[in-house]
Amino acid sequence: MSKQKPASISPCPCGIPRPYPDCCGRWHDGALALQAPTAEALMRSRYSAFVLDKLPYLLATWHPSTRPASFGPNPPGLKWLGLDVKAAADQDTDHATVEFVARSRLDGRASRLHETSRFVREGGQWFYVDGDLR
């Protein structure tokens, strides 16, 4: 299965009922690229980037201290089923956490990733640092 591409009128993969270009698409491409205004917006845009195999965006928004050198696209047949943000909290102006559940299916087997992610803002840009699986 090739990567999923939302039509401009389709809701964004992140679950917010807005068209992709008006939601996470604005953080992925164009003048606002990489400028998600909150840790939750960054987390949602990263989920959408996983759905759409936007690997350069994922690497660019991963903090250099924990970022892998590279990683591959979604395995063939992987279907992302949805995102549920459970909680988002700011520790201070430059540190935040987001708890979420992301669901997927591969080869008929459902999977869910439940994580509390840590984010840091440096130079005005939010970065994913790491997370604790729940």
CATH code: domain of residue 127: 3.10.450.50
Burial class (CB in 10 A: 0-12, 13-18, 19+), 132: exposed
In a domain, 12, yes or no: no
In a domain, 8, yes or no: no
In a domain, 1, yes or no: no
pLDDT digits (tens, 9 = 90+) for 34-65: 889 999 999 999 999 999 999 999 999 999 99
pLDDT higher than 80, residue 95: yes
- Please choose, from the candidates 23, 82, 22, 2, the residue with its C-alpha nearest in 3D space to the C-alpha of residue 47: 82
Residues 130/117, Cβ–Cβ less than 8 Å: yes
Rounded Cα gap, residues 53 and 46, in angstroms: 10
Q: What is the count of structural domains for the chain?
A: 1
Encode 84-115 in three state secondary structure.
EEEEEEEEECCEEEEEEEEEEEECCEEEEEEE
In a domain, 42, yes or no: yes
The percent of residues in the chain predicted with pLDDT above 90, rounded, is: 85
Average pLDDT of the segment spanning 78-97: 98
In a domain, 14, yes or no: no
